């Protein structure tokens, strides 16, 4: 059985934490210097155990072990959200790296291996799962051409050129070589912590429907325009938020979530009635039928608001991802590895966040495991997991990998 070294995992993660350190977290956006440093570090670590390593034309790292035996692909991502946590991504990469070391050192698994991937831009600075979609051969050159950093406005082409990666080929994984893909991640929620559990066996990854809702009214002077004749797009937007809050709980599934992440009123001045309002609205669920039902409910609410007036609303789909079901054998392997170490320390749980595993699941059996997030916090620099939980997770991950390679 491959045995992970928890202290080495912590050392690696703490070393990565120095790259783009921000308070107790990191600021390591895709293709920025800190991110590129982390890719180079990973390349070095993988080469140290004999892997052949490529950093490809979209910033994906692939470490391929020698040999022709059974192999598993492990990985996650090394970039972070802006000013965010140190474990979101790196945990899964370092677990895979450690499992590669442990499998290599395990005589019982001679000939078997773990290849390691760090997918670029899982956090979506430039797009949506650009790295993993490239890795499974589903990203076109036109997609890359169109990608622009949402914070800094730089195009992905320019960022790749600046990183010295322009012109390199993009590598596609040969799915037939793998028993499958296993990704570890922090939970990003409070379920494990609240229930004193250590391992989440992920059953599915939610689909996300992201909408842009726009209301058009009439911009006018906030002092001289009588209330009776106003067409206030901001008020229309607020009413929709409240209508959603009243309707959705009555029709949603047990784990559905929905979020208005941004509201923009134009022109956004204290003394001007907003003539246009935009809201970013998102629905997540692991059932395609539920996503479709709630999209219809949203469209009905906006149509009703338009009909009632005085503003006209429209709904645009910005993106839709399909829910992904995790492979049963992978779920069983993670569960057995956790149970073997601490009976009852685990639970089956869907992932409310998107992950590269949902992309990889399109081409090979895929699984995910979660470790606890302190306070359920993520996408913030205070995100954290205890050292003990990190080390425990690494052991479970390596053990699960061993079971999948041996099975």
Q: Is 251 in the site for its own copies (CB under 8 A)?
A: no
Of 10-18, 33-41, 279-287, 301-309, which part binds its own copies (CB under 8 A)? 279-287
Q: Is 358 in the site for its own copies (CB under 8 A)?
A: no
Q: Is 253 in the site for its own copies (CB under 8 A)?
A: no
Q: Which is nearer to its own copies, 84 or 117 (CB)?
A: 84
Here's the x/- map for its own copies, 305-344, by CB under 8 A: it reads as -------------x--------------------------
Of 16-24, 184-192, 306-314, 325-333, which part binds its own copies (CB under 8 A)? 184-192
Q: How far lies 386's CA from each of 4, 76, 185, 193, 234, in Å?
A: 17, 20, 14, 11, 43
Nearest CA to 86 among 163, 186, 183?
A: 186
- Beta bridge partners of residue 277, listed in sequence order: 215, 265
Nearest CA to 291 among 266, 339, 338, 324?
A: 324
Number of residues that bind its own copies (CB under 8 A): 59
- Residue 319 CB, nearest distance to its own copies (Å)? 9
Token pair of 174 as six digits: 């040969």
Binding-site member from 131, 354, 365, 393 for its own copies (CB under 8 A): 354
Q: Is 378 in the site for its own copies (CB under 8 A)?
A: yes
Q: Is 142 in the site for its own copies (CB under 8 A)?
A: no
Q: Region of 135 please: left (phi>0), alpha (psi -120 to 50) or beta.
A: alpha
Token pair of 35 as six digits: 């991110």
Q: How far lies 22's CA from each of 12, 34, 94, 185, 290, in Å?
A: 17, 11, 20, 20, 39
Q: Is 367 in the site for its own copies (CB under 8 A)?
A: no
CB-side neighbour CA atoms (13 Å) of 165: 26
Nearest CA to 257 among 219, 296, 207, 216?
A: 207
Q: Which is nearer to its own copies, 71 or 284 (CB)?
A: 284
Of 40-48, 158-166, 278-286, 394-402, which part binds its own copies (CB under 8 A)? 278-286
Q: Are 61 and 54 in contact (CB under 8 A)?
A: yes
For 64, list phi and psi in degrees, rounded to 5: -110, 125
Residue whose pair of structure tokens reads 């730089």 in the numeric block: 154
Q: Which is nearer to its own copies, 142 or 228 (CB)?
A: 228
Q: Is 294 in the site for its own copies (CB under 8 A)?
A: no
Q: Is 287 in the site for its own copies (CB under 8 A)?
A: no
Residues that bind its own copies (CB under 8 A): 187-190, 206, 208, 210, 219-227, 229, 232, 234-235, 237-239, 241-242, 245, 249, 252, 255-265, 268-274, 280, 282, 284, 318, 351-354, 376-380
């Amino acid at each position: 059985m491959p045995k992970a070294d928890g202290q080495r995992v912590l050392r690696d993660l703490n070393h990565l934490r120095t790259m783009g350190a921000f308070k107790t977290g990191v600021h390591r956006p895709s293709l920025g210097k800190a991110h590129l440093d982390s890719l180079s570090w990973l390349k070095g670590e993988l080469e140290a155990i004999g892997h052949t390593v490529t950093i490809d034309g979209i910033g994906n790292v692939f470490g391929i072990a020698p040999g022709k035996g059974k192999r598993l692909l492990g990985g996650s991502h090394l970039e972070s959200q802006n000013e965010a946590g140190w474990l979101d991504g790196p945990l899964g990469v370092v677990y895979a790296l450690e499992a590669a070391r442990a499998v290599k050192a395990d005589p019982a698994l001679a000939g078997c291996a773990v290849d390691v991937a760090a997918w670029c831009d899982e956090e979506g600075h430039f797009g949506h799962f650009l790295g993993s979609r490239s890795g499974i051969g589903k990203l076109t050159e036109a997609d890359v051409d169109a990608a622009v950093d949402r914070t800094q406005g730089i195009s992905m082409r320019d960022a790749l050129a600046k990183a010295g990666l322009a012109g390199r080929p993009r590598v596609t994984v040969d799915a037939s070589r793998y028993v499958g893909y296993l990704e570890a991640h922090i939970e990003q929620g409070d379920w494990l912590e609240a229930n004193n559990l250590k391992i989440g066996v992920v059953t599915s990854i939610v689909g996300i429907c992201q909408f842009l809702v726009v209301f058009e009214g009439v911009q006018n002077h906030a002092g001289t325009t009588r209330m009776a004749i106003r067409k206030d797009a901001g008020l229309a937007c607020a009413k929709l938020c409240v209508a959603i809050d009243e309707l959705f709980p009555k029709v949603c599934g047990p784990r559905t979530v929905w979020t208005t992440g941004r509201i923009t009123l134009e022109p956004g001045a204290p003394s001007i009635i907003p003539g246009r309002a935009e809201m970013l609205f998102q629905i997540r669920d692991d059932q395609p039928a539920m996503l479709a039902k709630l999209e219809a409910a949203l469209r009905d609410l906006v149509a009703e608001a338009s009909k009632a007036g005085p503003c006209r609303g429209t709904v645009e789909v910005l993106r839709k991802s399909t829910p992904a079901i995790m492979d049963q054998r992978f779920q069983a392997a993670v569960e057995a590895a956790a149970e073997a170490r601490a009976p009852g320390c685990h639970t089956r749980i869907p992932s409310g966040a998107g992950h590269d595993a949902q992309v990889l699941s399109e081409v090979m059996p895929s699984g995910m495991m979660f470790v606890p997030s302190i306070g359920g916090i993520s996408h913030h620099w205070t995100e954290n997991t205890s050292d003990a939980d990190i080390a425990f997770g690494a052991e479970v991950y390596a053990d699960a990998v061993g079971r999948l390679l041996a099975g």
